[in-house]
């Protein structure tokens, strides 16, 4: 129980006696003594008092700006700042952090994705402003705003980005090269006006490199004559450098490119878009239905599972995935090979 006693001029003693715990402190005003008593009594009883004025007085826009100002100067931070700017331009920008609720975000999501007009089994409708993946990214950054701001300001605040707020995502692309397509694709590249394109396709299929990683690769990071030939990727999608081993076929493709180019970069393009545009010219939907450049990376990773005995962690090191669950979509490719390792299987040890 908390009590406040006047002990003299400008002396007010607050006393807390609860569950065998006694604490006292003297203040100059009664209001200060009472405020301290509420806080300490809350800690003792587990019903801690917290001044909610800071949460109520801080708008979402202010919290987003605070987070933007505290982010480091990295490519990932640049991406997050663009999403923070987005939230600062929404109807929620002037709302108090304490006011935003999951229901508000679900309403926003339904409007942005045009969910009410979506076809069966579709996440977004025909008038969707962005795709479901973009909505997820924006909500993830908003969730980080609440978590980081609350931690930095020692505030207990409900994060509105809870389960059920994020939209469901469509399955990832599973386009594989079909019978004869690789040969036809390489022939189409050979006949194109871009002599480097065929080698670029081979490298993508052999190394799992993303188009941006290949576009930014310089010759000084390509080690063709090393004991173990490799490429050192310093700039990747997740900002983590990695070393990619090179197969004989990849080495041959790099040597062809070395004879074709005189600059410091492996390919004569400035960005990954240059590769994608060149690819679309030789692989139109009429000849290669629904085939995109990024499908070559999916094909390459699938082949590592199908044609090698590399462990998942080793494939992650090559592909640049950060978590094992990101490879879950590929693990089924080895299911038909597991039988040989079962008792009595083809390769089981005989006793």
Q: What is the DSSP string of 265-303?
A: BSSS-SSHHHHHHHHHHHS-TTTSTT--THHHHHHHHHH
CA angle at 272 for the pair 295 and 70, rounded to the nearest 5°: 110
- Per-residue model confidence (pLDDT) at position 120: 63
Say whether 81 sits in a helix, a strand or coil: helix
What is the rounded CA–CA span in Å between residue 350 and residue 30?
86
What is the rounded CA–CA span in Å between residue 237 and residue 82?
16
pLDDT in tens, 204-219: 999 999 988 999 999 9
Question: What's this model's pTM, rounded to 2 decimal places?
Answer: 0.58
Stretches where the chain sits below pLDDT 70 are 1, 18-21, 39, 41-51, 120-121, 171-172, 335-342, 344-351
Q: Answer yes or no: 153 catalytic.
A: no
Q: Answer yes or no: 294 catalytic.
A: yes
**Out of 30, 129, 178, 237, which one is annotated catalytic?**
237
Q: Answer yes or no: 330 catalytic.
A: yes
- Per-residue model confidence (pLDDT) at position 337: 65
pLDDT in tens, 226-237: 999 999 998 777
**Out of 138, 166, 194, 297, which one is annotated catalytic?**
297
What's the N-to-C CA distance of the chain in angstroms? 76
- Per-residue model confidence (pLDDT) at position 156: 86
Q: Answer yes or no: 298 catalytic.
A: no
Token pair of 42 as six digits: 């809350």
**Out of 138, 166, 210, 298, which one is annotated catalytic?**
210
- Per-residue model confidence (pLDDT) at position 93: 96
Measured CA distances, 117 to 99, 109, 127, 165 (Å): 29, 13, 8, 18
- Per-residue model confidence (pLDDT) at position 351: 41
Topology classification of domain 181-341 = hpI Integrase; Chain A (1.10.443)
**Out of 13, 18, 221, 294, which one is annotated catalytic?**
294
Token pair of 188 as six digits: 């189409």
How is the chain split into domains, by residue range?
Answer: 2-49, 57-152, 181-341
- Per-residue model confidence (pLDDT) at position 21: 64
Q: Answer yes or no: 210 catalytic.
A: yes
- Per-residue model confidence (pLDDT) at position 180: 94
Q: Answer yes or no: 332 catalytic.
A: no
- Per-residue model confidence (pLDDT) at position 176: 93
């Amino acid at each position: 129980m908390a009590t406040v006693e006047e002990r003299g001029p400008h002396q007010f003693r607050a006393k807390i006696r609860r569950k065998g715990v006694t604490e006292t402190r003297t203040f100059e005003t009664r209001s200060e003594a009472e405020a301290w008593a509420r806080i300490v009594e809350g800690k003792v009883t587990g019903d801690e008092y917290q001044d909610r004025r800071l949460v109520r007085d801080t708008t979402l826009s202010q919290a987003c700006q605070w987070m933007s100002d505290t982010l480091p100067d990295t490519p990932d931070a640049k991406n997050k700042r663009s999403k923070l700017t987005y939230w600062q331009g929404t109807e929620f920008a002037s709302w108090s952090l304490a006011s935003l609720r999951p229901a508000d975000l679900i309403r926003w999501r339904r409007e942005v994705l045009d969910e009410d007009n979506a076809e069966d089994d579709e996440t977004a409708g025909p008038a969707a402003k962005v795709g479901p993946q973009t909505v997820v990214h924006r909500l993830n950054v908003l969730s980080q705003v609440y978590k980081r701001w609350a931690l930095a300001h020692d505030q207990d605040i409900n994060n509105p980005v809870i389960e059920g707020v994020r939209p469901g995502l469509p399955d990832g692309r599973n386009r594989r090269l079909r019978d004869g397509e690789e040969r036809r694709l390489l022939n189409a590249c050979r006949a194109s006006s871009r002599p480097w394109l065929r080698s670029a396709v081979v490298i993508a299929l052999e190394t799992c490199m993303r188009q941006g990683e290949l576009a930014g690769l310089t010759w000084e990071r390509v080690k063709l004559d090393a004991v173990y030939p490799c490429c050192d990727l310093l700039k990747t999608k997740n900002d983590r450098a990695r070393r990619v081993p090179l197969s004989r076929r990849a080495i041959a493709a790099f040597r062809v490119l070395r004879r074709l180019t005189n600059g410091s970069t492996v390919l004569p393009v400035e960005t990954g878009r240059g590769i994608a545009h060149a690819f679309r010219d030789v692989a139109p939907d009429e000849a290669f239905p629904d085939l995109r450049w990024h499908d070559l990376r999916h094909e390459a990773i699938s082949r590592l599972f199908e044609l090698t005995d590399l462990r998942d962690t080793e494939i992650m090191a090559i592909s640049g995935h950060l978590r094992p669950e990101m490879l879950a979509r590929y693990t089924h490719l080895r299911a038909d090979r597991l039988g040989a390792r079962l008792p009595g299987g083809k390769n089981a040890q005989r006793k």
